[in-house]
Structure 1
């Protein structure tokens, strides 16, 4: 059973997330031969106040 985790900043619409899940699922099916019912996609949305690069938060 393939599990895919996508981490991205919040702000996408439900329609965008739905399309992303559909396309990722199709890519997994195409490349691994897994059944559609076995593909699990997790979307983890992050806020910029909880993310930093080079010691600086992205909201600062």
Structure 2
């Protein structure tokens, strides 16, 4: 039952978000062998001014053990 959470800056349209969710679903199906019905995807808009404290610090910096793709930036 994979659940994927995507956090990104605001500005994408609903159509872009739906396309992203569709592509993530396809990738999870292919890579993890999950059935489409078992996959869920949520997308959360996070303002740029909140990114460091709401995303970078708690989800990236403080959880390196579960981070499989490291970013090439450091906003701190």
TM-score if structure 2 supplies the norm length? Answer: 0.65
Larger Rg belongs to: 1
**Structure 2 runs not aligned, ≥5 long:** 53-74
- Distance (whole Å) between structure 2 residues aligned to residue 32 and residue 48 of structure 1: 31
> Within 5 Å, which residues of 2 pair with 1:1-40?
1-40=1-40
Greater helix share, structure number: 2
- Distance (whole Å) between structure 2 residues aligned to residue 20 and residue 31 of structure 1: 16
TM-score if structure 1 supplies the norm length? Answer: 0.80
**Structure 1 runs not aligned, ≥5 long:** 55-60
Q: Which structure is richer in relative contact order (CA contacts within 8 A, separation 6 or more)?
A: 1
- Distance (whole Å) between structure 1 residues aligned to residue 24 and residue 46 of structure 2: 19
Following superposition, the deviation at residue 28 of structure 1 comes to 0.2
Write the deviation string for residues 7-51 of structure 1: whole angstroms up to 9, x where unpaired.
100100011001000000000001111110100111111012323
Aligned length: 54
Q: RMSD of the TM alignment (CA)?
A: 1.1
